[in-house]
Amino acid sequence: MKPRLAPTLASLILAGLTATGPVLADDALWRDCRTCHAVVAPDGSVLARGGSSAPNLYGIADRPLASDSGFRFYSDDLRAAAATGARWSAANFRAYLTNPDQFLRDLTGNPQAESGMHVELRRGADEVFEFLRGLSQ
Ligand code: HEC
């Protein structure tokens, strides 16, 4: 079964807004991603702590797909999508987070394409994208 993140994320965002400000809100946004992802700058400083079983999301805004050179386990289908030259625009990021398999199918034209990421966000993708863009500046 795929994890259902939407209700948690929505309530965490609300909690962040009514609490002490942007730090808490950002931390709440990151909670659903950090099991697998971290944000680590090129100089090695950790901007958002997290796991190492998924690509580093440093500079993800406008980064080409599948371009973390330190991550060796990209799926063939994400690599195939990357071969189209696509980048992580806000729209691509939102589409991917909403339905990773469908995003790859639309981009590659392969109806069998499957993402190596089994996470679907029903809302909040734009906020996560802006959070990550802000961290990487
Ligand atoms: C259970 C682990 C897991 C969680 C939780 C997770 N991801 Fe991922 N993510 C992955 C894996 C694995 C990949 C590589 C997928 C592939 O190769 O097809 C990935 C890939 C990505 C990519 C593409 C990276 C690139 O270099 O092209 C983005 C963007 C992304 N995830 C964003 C997120 C965000 C934002 C969240 C939180 C809402 C999140 N992920 C939660 C495991 C996870």
User: What pLDDT, in 10s, does the model give residues 88-98?
Assistant: 999 999 999 99
Angle at 56 between CA 34 and CA 73, to 5 degrees: 100
Token representation of residue 50: 């997290």
Angle at 60 between CA 40 and CA 28, to 5 degrees: 70
Ligand 1 neighbour 55 (Cβ under 6 A): yes
CA 117 to ligand 1 centroid distance, Å: 5
Ligand 1 neighbour 113 (Cβ under 6 A): no
Angle at 129 between CA 11 and CA 21, to 5 degrees: 50
Q: 67 CB contacts (<8 Å, ≥6 apart)?
A: 82
**Residue to mutate (ligand 1; options 35, 36, 103; most atoms within 8 A of CB):** 36
- Bigger pLDDT: 10 vs 90: 90
Q: Is the pLDDT of residue 22 over 50?
A: no
**Residue to mutate (ligand 1; options 56, 117, 122; most atoms within 8 A of CB):** 117
Amino acid present at 54: A
73-116: pLDDT as tens digits: 999 999 999 999 999 999 999 999 999 999 999 999 999 999 99
Token representation of residue 61: 């805004």
Q: Give the atom of ligand 1 at the shortest distance from the alpha carbon of 118.
A: 1
- Pick from 27, 28, 35, 62: which is nearest to 137 by CA? 62
**Cβ 118 vs Cβ 100: under 8 Å:** yes
Q: Measure the CA–CA gap between 99 and 33, rounded to whole angstroms.
A: 15
CA 100 to ligand 1 centroid distance, Å: 9
